[in-house]
Amino acid sequence: MPKIIMSQHDSIRAVEWKDNHLVLLDQRKLPHNEQFIALYSADDTAEAIRNMVVRGAPAIGIAAAYAVVMAARKSYKQYPQDWRQRLLAEIEMLKNSRPTAVNLMWALNRMCEAADDIQGDPEYPLLELAKKIHQDDIDANYRMGELGSALIAPSHGVLTHCNTGSLATGGYGTALGVIRSAYSKGIIEHVYADETRPWWQGSRLTAWELVKDKIPAHLLCDSAAAHLMKLGKVSWVIVGSDRIAANGDVANKIGTYSLAVNARYHGVKFMVVAPTSTIDLATLCGNDIPIEERPQDEVLNVSNQRIAAYHTQAWNPAFDVTPASLVDALVTEKGVIENPTAEKIAALMAS
């Protein structure tokens, strides 16, 4: 198996398998504390996914794949005759940890299918598959970095939303991988990153990754994006995705849809960067994508400090759906689709 490669602009790994357990960089503590936590069970991993210790669609899929290894070890030890049934229950529990990112279900389905064919101790073969899922994601990100950066004409800047970097993936990143590639080739000079309310993935995570990689960047309030586009400071908006429906509709972090609408109005191009594990052919269109609604407190409070007036209620959808018609380019590791449609996506997935 090829070893994980670190390019000049890729210095972070948030999900790692060490000896017999999973190690996660606790993303709730960033950017002020780089604290790692060790996990030894599927239950603890599901909790870590729910609580945003690990987040980002590909990263939660990879963490869940490693969780299946730990669940299989436990099931085989306790019930050597009946381990598969026990494992299925743990896989179902992991699937329910977050609803929108389909990479979670995709990785768990792959682990589940592999478990079906195993005779004897399942730990080693499942660990090999989890490591492959992890490495394939990194390879896909490097490939998408090449393909996506090739679409960008030399320009001052690009805008991104949420965190799509090494922290959100196996490494390097989806949208941030394209940005890393474009910067390292001298195609872009500057990155604008939305702070991304209410979890601040932009301020706490993307800005941290960009500073670490010495890529010049400005953070902006989510509501400043339209003004930025009007001033002509960005040529592309580049985002990741949590699930892409068969017709090309794109679910991503809340706020992405407004960026796409604003980009079209201002003549700024809109690029979605996602591995094919994010494409869900079983979900026909964006209306069918389950959108996670998170607790009100995430909006009413900032860093545990109450901001909103007491007795205020808040609505906190974590994702929104951008219609395919607003997407100029969908970049996957299998190739680029311009102006995605159901037919083009079906052909790409069949290739």
**201 lies in the site for ligand MRU, by CB under 6 A:** yes
Residue pair 39/62 in contact (Cβ under 8 Å)? The answer is no
SS3 at position 284: coil
Q: Quick one: 127 or 133, whose CB is closer to ligand MRU? A: 133
**162 lies in the site for ligand MRU, by CB under 6 A:** yes
Considering only residues 56 to 85 of the shown chain, the ones binding ligand MRU according to CB under 6 A are: 56-58
From residue 292, how far is each of 150, 283, 341 by CA, in Å? 34, 16, 25
- Please give the size of the binding site for ligand MRU, defined by CB under 6 A: 18
DSSP 285: S
SS3 at position 165: coil
- H or E segment and range at residue 179: helix 175-184
- Token digits for 133? 């899922």
Give least dist CB 244 to ligand MRU, A.
Answer: 10
Q: List the one residue from 75, 135, 149, 174 that touches ligand MRU (CB under 6 A).
A: 174
**157 lies in the site for ligand MRU, by CB under 6 A:** no
Q: Quick one: 75 or 262, whose CB is closer to ligand MRU? A: 262
**171 lies in the site for ligand MRU, by CB under 6 A:** no
Q: In the block, which residue shows the tokens 């999973």? A: 22
Q: Mark the binding-site residues for substrate, compressed into ranges.
A: 55-57, 98, 201, 252-253
**194 lies in the site for ligand MRU, by CB under 6 A:** no
**167 lies in the site for ligand MRU, by CB under 6 A:** no
Q: Are strands 243-245 and 250-253 parallel, antiparallel or unpaired?
A: antiparallel
- DSSP assignments along 96-161, one per residue: TS-SS-HHHHHHHHHHHHHHHT--S--HHHHHHHHHHHHHHHHHHHHHHHHHHHTTPPSEEEEEE-
- Token digits for 168? 């959100």
Its sign, for the CA torsion 65, 206, 187, 320, is positive
**168 lies in the site for ligand MRU, by CB under 6 A:** yes
Give least dist CB 293 to ligand MRU, A.
Answer: 12
Residue type present at position 308: A
Q: Name the catalytic one among 44, 213, 242, 328.
A: 242
**241 lies in the site for ligand MRU, by CB under 6 A:** yes
Q: How many other CB atoms sit within 10 Å of the CB of residue 179?
A: 35
Q: Quick one: 56 or 148, whose CB is closer to ligand MRU? A: 56
**55 lies in the site for ligand MRU, by CB under 6 A:** yes
The reply to whether 10 belongs to the active site is no
Q: How far apart are CA 137 and CA 303, in angstroms?
A: 32
Which string of x and - marks every residue 103-142 that binds ligand MRU (by CB under 6 A)? ----------------------------------------
Select from 78-86, 162-170, 185-193, 217-225 the region that touches ligand MRU (CB under 6 A). Answer: 162-170
From residue 299, how far is each of 32, 196, 302 by CA, in Å? 21, 12, 7
Q: How far apart are CA 247 and CA 267, in angstroms?
A: 23
Integer-rounded Cα radius of gyration of the chain: 20
Give least dist CB 274 to ligand MRU, A.
Answer: 7
Q: Quick one: 122 or 165, whose CB is closer to ligand MRU? A: 165
Select from 3-11, 237-245, 260-268, 333-341 the region that touches ligand MRU (CB under 6 A). Answer: 237-245
- Residue ranges in contact with ligand MRU by CB under 6 A: 55-58, 101, 162, 164, 168-169, 174, 199, 201, 240-242, 252-253, 318
